[in-house]
Amino acid sequence: MTATAPTASAVEAPQRRGALTQSVRDSLVIARRNLIRMLRIPEMIIFGIIQPVMFVVLFSYVFGGSIAVGGSTSAEAYREFLMAGIFAQTVTFATAGAGAGIADDMHKGLIDRFRSLPMARGAVLTGRTLADLVQTALTLVVLAAVALLVGWRTHENLGKVLLGFVLLLLLGYAFSWIGALIGLSVRTPEAATSGGLIWLFPLTFISNAFVPAENMPAFLRHIAEWNPFSATVQACRELFGNFPPGYRAPDAWPMQHPVWASLIWSVLIVVVFRTLAVRKYRSAA
């Protein structure tokens, strides 16, 4: 009898599964390393929580009652309108920390040591972004508790509320890949922090996070309505039931279908910037 030689596809399939398993394992090891590092430096977590808490308190009590939302200038209406924007701003501002952490590892030569090990190429970056995602989730929990204390409430069922927080975490994870690319592209952690924040301010303020986009000039309004940040904010307001009475969504597609728009934007950002970051990691000196 003659033995049948295995086909190329039959040989490659286990190899692909093995490579995927190793990549997942290596990514979890790196994520665990970064989480342990965060626990040993609690200031990283504490300062990451203090800033968004300050935003909640300041915006709620300083601007509450000064900005008309849906024809109402009550502090309660603005507080509910505001919170989705604060949540989204918090998860995206974690980008600067992700970039600074990777730049610090590059500066200390740690990335070069990882590159010399027999591990999946993308595992270092994936592990780092997963650890940042855990920190972001912790920050959101604390922030939501503070928001409840100052009077924020949701008006939809638990499933929709949880979906809103999932979209926020997905947006934060997507933006952490932008931070990873920035961290690999600069020479110092300080430059990564500056580079991670300088573009976030126009992104978050030319949006519907803090004021209704329809109050902006026409050219800014169109930018705000197609801003991926605005899509997630709009989706969270819809899922939390935080639209003011009589609110009518703008006609732009992302504002009419914010949940789908948020998902599409976040997945697209992950695909594009993960590809660029892994490519940069492979060629980084």
For 35-64, b/e burial (b = at least 16 CB within 10 A) is beebeeeeeeeeebbeebbebbeebbeeeb
pLDDT value at position 229? 95
Rounded to 5°, angle at Cα 142 from 137 and 143: 90
Q: Which amino acid is at 122?
A: G
Tell me the C-alpha distance between 24 and 108, whole Å: 25
pTM (two decimals): 0.86
Tell me the C-alpha distance between 166 and 48, whole Å: 19
pLDDT tens per residue across all 285 residues of the chain: 455 555 545 445 555 556 678 888 888 888 888 888 888 877 777 877 888 888 888 877 776 666 667 666 667 777 888 889 999 998 998 888 788 888 887 777 777 777 777 777 778 888 889 988 998 999 999 999 988 888 888 989 999 999 999 999 999 999 999 998 998 888 788 888 888 788 888 899 899 888 888 878 888 999 999 999 999 999 999 999 988 777 788 889 999 999 999 999 999 999 999 999 988 888 765
pLDDT value at position 73? 61
